[in-house]
């Protein structure tokens, strides 16, 4: 069974050396000094390593079971959930008035990483609950907040999100679920929702379903969608539980992975629900949660990759096979460890350089969310909105690639379930699909985010990269292998943006045909920026003589690898984009 | 359940328009005219569609079971195997003297494609048997041939390959299985072999295990390895079955995919075996089968991709979601089909252009094998040896990518097992690993094949591309979107080869660190050459006014897509290769 250890040193490096969080002017950040965050992250790492990771393969092999209409979770999940609750890990960033710890979102993100790496399927029960908490916090009435938030913060009750229906996923305008107003101010919800993660289980007293539905007579399409709170068990105003609501599990899906999480078909048969926020403004309510939810999925992508990488690294150091081409590295043994072989190294360096870059990007994104929510900083809000599809789409594509690459290090054993490597790939696969399939992320980026604020936000991002390059071109570390590749990649990205501007108006397909490539290009440029900033921070630490020299030197070398071997991808993506819509759209539908 | 139809038109196009097989000076090719091959391929397509494809998900969900030491195959497999046997499909290219049809290997390859697309796990029972047939044909005594070949050709008995042991896969020099000579000329085989595909099952009277083992006292390492025939059931010289041999199934592996095939741990406990070929020459005997075996795995890669593509295409035409950005394509319906969206198109075109290119490359490779085996043409033998790691490594990487991309078209449904898309990805995943993991293919290509014949073969390949470009630069079709990209990509490939030559001698790691990128570059150049040749053939057919104009026009448009959108990858790979060994090897082992 693969073991997992939270990469505390690297997490601390990102929070303090790179992001310098205590120096940021965001309420709540001043107290997040190195010792404070280390204490929290080390405890989280222990829970991940000792409680959650050992249940990862159990969850995969047992899966959830539907028994008499009730979902049973795998052995050990209930006890583990109690441990997580008791440790206060469900409410890191929940308000203190609702029983939370009131810490910034960046700490929720950092704590979440080891939990997701150790057991993604398990973590989703609390992840969806966090989403429901955020939605009710943003849109609930005072009474709804008082009733639900403390229970969701503690995970005494858990939450779900109900969007998709059998005939509509991305295109929610086709939705059929109905919400009929009742005299007492409640609604009767009727319809079927599918792909409901954590839809039912045996680990909490109640489940708060947030359900998108249409109130009859409202506007057509997405403008007529409202959001409802539909509890599994009805309750009074104090939360005292009563009768079962008319909501039931129609089916438990058999999936490629995340078997430990219950993915349900939910049937609403005149279930009682209450409006959350305004009528017909359900889509807007969903959108307010979207940056966080999509960032959370991006984190899942690289966190699965990180866990798979740790396993592959251990195997590469242990497994003896062949000899180094430069002469035996383990002359006493029958063969050398795999890690001596350049192609295995390439594979490990791909994973390592990606995971560390992705961590930096995700935590940075979390600080932007904090700046937006805690300081009301509109620029941070705009920037994180621009980056969100990149974090979701690029990090999950690459995270799955990492998990697949890690399998490859194991050779045939990577394909055998008992070694655990297949699970990482199977689990990671969903991150490219849910919370908006990655093609939709690319569409969001190119079709919506580039043009947001009249293009000011993306121009600001380009400017940020340019300024960084200009200001650091004399830096001895950065001038060797960082600044030039970043400038070149950024230039490619801007050229692609220019191509869209020049062609997108008269040929919208020209922009859309290149959207996926643009998302990946922007991913590389963003990670390139992260790496350049990390190398600078590492060089400063080396200069100051603080901390572990080996760590900082490895950081710089890993960054050089990413710049040398991954940034050249932008040339390929630009060439594809500049080939335009014609090759993509040339065939008539019948010609396929 | 995804349905599958053999792409007969495209298979025929490759055999006749592109490869012009009847015009090739290879014994047995003259009779392979359009009508003859169409008749065979259509029948094979029916078996694939009606018998094998319906059992694909059955095999996946039921898997094999080990009951009292015997493996039971999924429901319907026995009957299907009888159908395949009775149709003569197991012995397309087996000698007529052994009950086969004596057709060239290219026909075996073409017939195999729909079988693999429809049900890869099932096809492996006959695939491994084909491998055993080939090995005994090449290295067996006359008595061994007379005894085994007719039974293997008919699949009355099936075959296996036993190489890997728990502690050694790639590095067979570490092998521990022993073969002790007996007075009667037989050997007692003792040891454990793992990952034995089709290792046991209930579909044949006997199983012929080909086992690599060491005769005590022989040379160290791989030079002391011999190959043995070890039947599951002992038999007399006429093949009459007697007692069980001392070989048993230790375990049935739980795998990520190909559940319908039994992957066994095989225990040899003093089992009786007979030497196949010469003592200590087992590795050489294995190598003679390797080109075919690896080409067969390359075919599995793209054939799984093809099956997944067909399913994704059907879904993209059927599923209504969103509206075309250029205006409604299905104004009467509630939404447009997915296929109107440029990013879905991109995805479909990636799959289509890859599958068609891969088909051409694989069938071409098969004609080179025929030229080598049937005409003794050394140049063809050398060329196919060069291309084999590309066919295996590149086509399986891309085939898995296709299966993953096809899942993506289905959105959330792609992750749910009942839709069948997850299976394509899970099944395709093994092709990147077995028969030499793809990193080993890259090593074989760069470390061995480039230098073979003093580099003459690879120079000949470059020359072939160059000559084609020079001869066709005035061709109206090719001059628009084919010749220039192919020239540019080929130039990149040659630059990479030059880099290896200049740096590989003094820094062997410099070549090895770039080997994987080189394999992909060469894959793109090879597929680029295939596409340029196909476009030329299609243009000629259009000019001649023969056949289906729409088909030929779509062929040219699909080729333009591949050239415009995939050949630019060579620039990225070249940049990575030219960054050398330093970034890859910079970290000390402890610094990971």
- Per-residue pLDDT tens for A292-346? 899 999 999 999 999 999 999 999 999 999 999 999 999 999 999 999 999 999 9
Q: Tell if the CB–CB gap between B554 and A433 is shorter than 8 Å.
A: no
Identify which of A52, A139, A57 has the alpha carbon closest to the alpha carbon of residue A89: A52
Q: Are A176 and A189 in contact (CB under 8 A)?
A: no
Q: Enumerate the active-site residues of A.
A: 435
Sequence-separated (6 or more) residues with CB below 8 Å from residue B293 = B131, B435
Q: Are A67 and A201 in contact (CB under 8 A)?
A: no
Residue among A418, A434, A586 whose CB faces B412 most closely: A434
Q: Tell if the CB–CB gap between A320 and B347 is shorter than 8 Å.
A: no
Mean per-residue pLDDT over chain A, rounded: 96
The single residue of B292, B356, B381, B435 carrying the catalytic annotation is B435
For chain A, the straight-line distance linking the first and the last C-alpha, in angstroms and rounded, comes to 45
Q: Tell if the CB–CB gap between A321 and B168 is shorter than 8 Å.
A: yes
CA dihedral over B318, B320, B326, B327, signed as positive or negative: positive
- Write out the two tokens for A100: 């939370």
- By C-alpha distance, the chain A residue nearest B221 is A334
- Measured in angstroms, the CA of B348 and the nearest CA of chain A are apart by 9
Q: Tell if the CB–CB gap between B513 and A345 is shorter than 8 Å.
A: yes
Q: Please give the Cα distance from A28 to B129 (Å, whole number).
A: 68
Residue among B317, B516, B568 whose CB faces A343 most closely: B516
- Per-residue pLDDT tens for A358-381? 999 999 999 999 999 999 999 999
Q: Please give the Cα distance from A388 to A293 (Å, whole number).
A: 9
Identify which of A170, A526, A560, A552 has the alpha carbon closest to the alpha carbon of residue A361: A526
Identify which of B363, B175, B393 has the alpha carbon closest to the alpha carbon of residue B286: B175
Q: Tell if the CB–CB gap between A587 and B558 is shorter than 8 Å.
A: yes
Residue among A418, A437, A509 whose CB faces B411 most closely: A437
CA dihedral over A330, A333, A334, A339, signed as positive or negative: negative
- Residue to substitute from A60, A518, A565, interface B, most B β-carbons within 10 A: A565
- Per-residue pLDDT tens for A243-283? 999 999 999 999 999 999 999 999 999 999 999 999 999 99
Does residue A515 register a pLDDT over 90? yes
- Write out the two tokens for B512: 């090895």
Phi/psi at B292 (5° precision): -65, -45
Does residue B206 register a pLDDT over 90? yes
Neighbours of A456 (CB within 10 A): 12
In Å, how far are A163, A445, A449, A570 from A387, measured between CA atoms? Answer: 24, 8, 9, 17
Residue among B404, B429, B554 whose CB faces A415 most closely: B429
pLDDT of residue A172: 87
Q: Please give the Cα distance from A203 to B275 (Å, whole number).
A: 61
Q: How confident is the model at residue A291 (pLDDT cuts 50, 70, 90)?
A: confident
List chain B residues with CB under 8 Å of A565: 576, 579, 583-584
In Å, how far are A132, A173, B520 from A280, measured between CA atoms? Answer: 19, 12, 51
- Measured in angstroms, the CA of B507 and the nearest CA of chain A are apart by 8
User: What mean pLDDT comes out for the span A451-458?
Assistant: 94
DSSP string, A526-567: HHHHHHHHHHHHHHHHHHHT-S-HHHHHHHHHHHHHHHHHTT
- By C-alpha distance, the chain B residue nearest A509 is B342
pLDDT of residue A560: 98
Sequence-separated (6 or more) residues with CB below 8 Å from residue A18 = A360, A364, A530, A533, A534, A537
List chain A residues with CB under 8 Å of B400: 404
List chain A residues with CB under 8 Å of B256: 415-417, 422, 425-426
List chain B residues with CB under 8 Å of A220: none
Q: Tell if the CB–CB gap between A254 and B434 is shorter than 8 Å.
A: no
Q: Tell if the CB–CB gap between A411 and B509 is shorter than 8 Å.
A: no
Q: Are A465 and A529 in contact (CB under 8 A)?
A: yes
SS3 B164: coil
Burial category of B417 from C-beta neighbours within 10 Å (exposed 0-12, middle 13-18, buried 19 and up): middle
Sequence-separated (6 or more) residues with CB below 8 Å from residue B152 = B94, B129, B130, B132, B133, B136, B158, B159, B208
- Write out the two tokens for B5: 């139809």
- Residue identified by tokens 């080409």 is B295
Does residue B288 register a pLDDT over 80? no
Q: Report DSSP state, residue A176.
A: -
Residue among B425, B565, B584 whose CB faces A579 most closely: B565
Mark residue B434 as left, alpha or beta (left: phi above 0; alpha: psi -120 to 50; beta: remaining).
beta
pLDDT of residue A43: 98
Does residue B247 register a pLDDT over 80? yes
Does the active-site annotation cover B67? no
- By C-alpha distance, the chain B residue nearest A343 is B513
pLDDT of residue B290: 80
Interface predicted TM-score of the whole assembly (ipTM), two decimals: 0.97
DSSP string, A39-91: HHHHHHHHIIIIIIGGGHHHHHHH--EEETTEEEPPTTHHHHHHHHHHTTTT-
Mean per-residue pLDDT over chain B, rounded: 96
Q: How confident is the model at residue A90 (pLDDT cuts 50, 70, 90)?
A: very high
User: What mean pLDDT comes out for the span B12-38?
Assistant: 98
Sequence-separated (6 or more) residues with CB below 8 Å from residue B384 = B291, B295, B365, B368, B369, B372
Q: Please give the Cα distance from B430 to B400 (Å, whole number).
A: 9
- Per-residue pLDDT tens for A200-218? 999 999 999 999 999 999 9
- Write out the two tokens for A561: 């690898």
The number of C-beta contacts closer than 8 angstroms across A and B is 253
User: What mean pLDDT comes out for the span B433-437?
Assistant: 96
pLDDT of residue A542: 97
SS3 A159: strand
Residue among A195, A343, A432 whose CB faces B439 most closely: A343
pLDDT of residue A250: 97
CA dihedral over A449, A450, A453, A457, signed as positive or negative: positive
Neighbours of A142 (CB within 10 A): 7
Identify which of A429, A405, A350, A422 has the alpha carbon closest to the alpha carbon of residue B437: A405
Q: Tell if the CB–CB gap between B509 and A325 is shorter than 8 Å.
A: yes
- Measured in angstroms, the CA of B26 and the nearest CA of chain A are apart by 34
pLDDT of residue B286: 82
User: What mean pLDDT comes out for the span B506-519?
Assistant: 94
Tell me which H or E stretch contains B474: none
List chain B residues with CB under 8 Å of A337: 589
């Amino acid at each position: 069974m693969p073991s997992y250890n939270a990469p505390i040193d690297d997490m601390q490096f990102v929070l303090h050396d790179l992001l310098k969080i205590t120096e940021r002017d965001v309420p709540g950040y001043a107290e997040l000094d190195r010792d404070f965050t280390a204490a929290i992250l080390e405890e989280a790492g222990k829970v991940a390593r000792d409680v959650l990771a050992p249940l990862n393969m159990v969850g995969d092999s047992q899966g959830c079971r539907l028994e008499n209409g009730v979902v049973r979770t795998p052995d050990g999940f209930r006890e583990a959930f109690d441990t997580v609750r008791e440790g206060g890990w469900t409410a890191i960033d929940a308000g203190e008035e609702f029983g939370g710890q009131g810490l910034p979102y960046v700490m929720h993100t950092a704590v979440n990483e080891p939990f997701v790496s150790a057991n993604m399927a398990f973590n989703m029960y609390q992840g969806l609950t966090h989403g429901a908490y955020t939605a009710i916090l943003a849109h609930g009435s005072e009474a709804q907040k008082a009733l639900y938030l403390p229970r969701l913060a503690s995970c005494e009750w858990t939450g779900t999100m109900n969007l998709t229906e059998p005939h509509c996923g991305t295109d929610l305008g086709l939705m059929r679920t109905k919400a009929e107003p009742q005299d007492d101010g409640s609604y009767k919800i009727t319809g079927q929702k599918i792909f409901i993660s954590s839809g039912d289980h045996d680990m909490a007293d109640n489940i708060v379903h947030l359900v998108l539905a249409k109130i009859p007579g409202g506007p057509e399409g997405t403008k007529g969608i409202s959001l409802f709170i539909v509890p599994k068990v009805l309750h009074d105003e104090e939360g005292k539980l009563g009768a079962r609501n008319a909501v039931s599990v129609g089916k438990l899906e058999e999936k490629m992975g995340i078997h430990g999480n219950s993915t349900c078909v939910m049937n609403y048969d005149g279930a009682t629900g209450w409006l959350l926020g305004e009528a017909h403004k359900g889509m807007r309510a969903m959108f307010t949660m979207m940056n966080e939810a999509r960032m959370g999925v991006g984190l899942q992508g690289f966190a699965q990759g990180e866990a798979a990488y740790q396993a592959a690294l251990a195997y590469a150091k242990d497994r003896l096979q062949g000899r180094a081409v430069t002469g035996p590295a383990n002359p006493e043994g029958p063969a050398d460890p795999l890690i001596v072989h350049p192609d295995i190294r390439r594979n490990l360096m791909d994973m390592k350089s990606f995971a560390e870059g992705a961590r930096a990007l995700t935590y940075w994104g979390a600080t932007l969310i904090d700046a937006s929510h805690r300081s009301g900083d509109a620029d941070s809000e705009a920037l994180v909105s621009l980056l969100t599809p990149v974090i979701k789409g690029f990090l999950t594509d690459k995270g799955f690639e990492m998990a697949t690459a890690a399998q490859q290090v194991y050779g045939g054993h990577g394909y055998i379930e008992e070694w655990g490597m297949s699970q990482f790939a199977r689990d990671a696969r969903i991150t490219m699909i849910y919370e908006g399939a990655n093609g939709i992320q690319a569409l969001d980026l190119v079709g919506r985010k580039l043009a947001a604020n009249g293009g000011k936000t993306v121009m600001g991002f380009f400017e940020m990269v340019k300024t960084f390059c200009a200001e650091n071109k004399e830096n001895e570390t950065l001038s060797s292998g960082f600044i030039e590749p970043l400038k070149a990649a950024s230039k490619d990205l801007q050229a692609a943006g220019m191509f869209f501007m020049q062609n997108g108006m008269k040929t919208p397909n020209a922009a859309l045909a290149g959207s996926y490539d643009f998302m990946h290009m922007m991913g590389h440029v963003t990670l390139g920026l992260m790496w350049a900033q990390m190398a600078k921070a590492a060089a400063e630490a080396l200069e100051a003589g603080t901390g572990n020299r080996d760590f900082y030197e490895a950081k710089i070398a890993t960054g050089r690898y990413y710049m040398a071997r991954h940034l050249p991808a932008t040339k390929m993506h630009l060439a594809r984009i500049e080939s335009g819509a014609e090759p993509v759209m040339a065939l008539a539908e019948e010609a396929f």
